[in-house]
Structure 1
Amino acid sequence: MSTTPIKLLTSGRHRLTLDVDDRERELWVFVPTQATEPSDGWPVILTFHGGLSNAPTMMRFCELQELGETAGFVTVFPNGTGRMPSMKTWNAGMCCGYAQREDVNDVHFVEELLADLSQRIQIDPSRVYATGMSNGGMMAYLLADKLSDRFAAVAPVGGTMGNEACQPKRPVPLMHMHGTEDQFVRWEGGVGARSKSKLDFHSVDHAMANWVAANRANPQPQIEKFEPQVDDGTSIEKYTYAATGTGSAEVILWKIYGGGHTWPGKESRLDMLGPTTHNLDANAVIWDFFQRHRLPKE
């Protein structure tokens, strides 16, 4: 990998480029301006856009960087690859698009991204996390599997596993959010009615079964039902597959009845994505989940 001369990052927003595997890759980094850097370095959340989207669109879609400003974490929005600037994808197994067809090694890109970022700002290596929407959620699943020694926890949204199975080197705490009325990546799996790729996606149950087993979590979940606080046609159930002791990690599923292919708590500008729940704040829940998990010390 070759890069432009290393530039230390101050607080604020930065666009960076990296040359990885003979491709110029982009990412946007938000370093908090209102919060104080922790003594151990910044927590970092990598946030992956959906298929046929891009990093700037994801910033507007989830606005996770705004929470990072006050809560005190660095937010990174990487760009996938594609022929058009506004339509990028990730190679996350069976999905998606250009990145899959060209066999782009996005796992290697993330490795190089983290190595470069650690030279620009002080990060806490025990507090590196990943989340993402749709194809970006699938990318978070893949990173948990392939880079389990780098990511303390992951939180996919609206995207299921892109592979048949997972074999992480260590259990990785995982939290998934998904709407039952998602017409792009169906809860039940298969081809979504509005899917652009027309791929036969795996189901949410497939992801849960694989990761509950990989994490050696309790296969019998604790189920919590929440009374709707907003009358928007959605309701929430939380399934917690608890860790069973040393060498185990929890798996959490938020089932959003009536929810579409959207980011909980953030209104979508596209009606075609379906209903957004306002009975769950994805950003707050994701950050609360991440704060409870760090990579174990060797």
Structure 2
Amino acid sequence: MERSNVTFVVEFILLGFSDLPNLRRLLFGIFLIIYINILIGNGLLIVITKINPTLQTPMYFFLGNFSFLEICYTSITLPRMLKDIWTQKGNIPFLECATQTCFFYILGAAECLFLAVMAYDRYVAICKPLYYPLIMNHKVCVQLVIAAWITGVPAQIGVTYQFFSQKFCGSNKLNHIFCDSSILLEIACGDTYQKEISLLVNTFFFVVIPFLLILISYFRIIATILKLPSTSGKSKAFFTCSSHLMVVCLFYGSVTIAYLRSKSSHSAKSNKVFALFYTIMTPVLNPMIYSLRNKDVIVAVRKLLLK
């Protein structure tokens, strides 16, 4: 019986927002505006960090790369979702689904590592200011960026292969907005315990460990700031870290809520909402956070727009 129920999957069907046909045009318009804002906002940050002489520092070098990552991260899911909403067809070929999942995990791991690298940069700047130019020289910055981009690639390819090489039973419909390994477990045949463990191990190395490194960095930053004699020095140091800290809270807060909820509280609609939150919220708010809270960025944007 189990063998007869095994399905050779050629394609999956992403149900997405098919249960809301009357809101199709509205949802398409909202997500299109969001995607355009992500492209323009993060694109502006990339341009000004490249061409403005006052922003040629490690912090803005990392910010430019992080903004490019945000564009790539969102482009994995949003364009496909817009197409599905407009055509009302969620058919996605097996290979395309696997590719989307793989790149989604690769870029997700890179985002966690980038946030850890940026936290380390703030730690060196505040806790070891005299050694900052020596420690965070251009060569080291380039090496950290390359490491953040490629470290997770082999592991994410391995995890993706493990999930998509399994056999599937029953329906090929995925009640989600994009392909995700956790959703594939629902239609997988047999015992999925090993795959769940591998997913947890992968999450530990590329989500939990970077978060712990960020926490350690900020504990030391706060301890150093509290020792500063002047109030103005303390406020300036806190202000320097505030933008990055807000982005960290947004990203990790949404990911934590999405993945660490109890299984009894899971529902298809809540999964979609939280998936949208951690895939869209950080990329769309990242330019606003860094521009509204940073005078150098505001001045650079004004100069660019005037030109």
One fold, TM greater than 0.5? Answer: no
Q: Which has the higher strand share?
A: 1
What TM-score, normalized to structure 1? 0.28
- TM-score by length of structure 2 reads 0.27
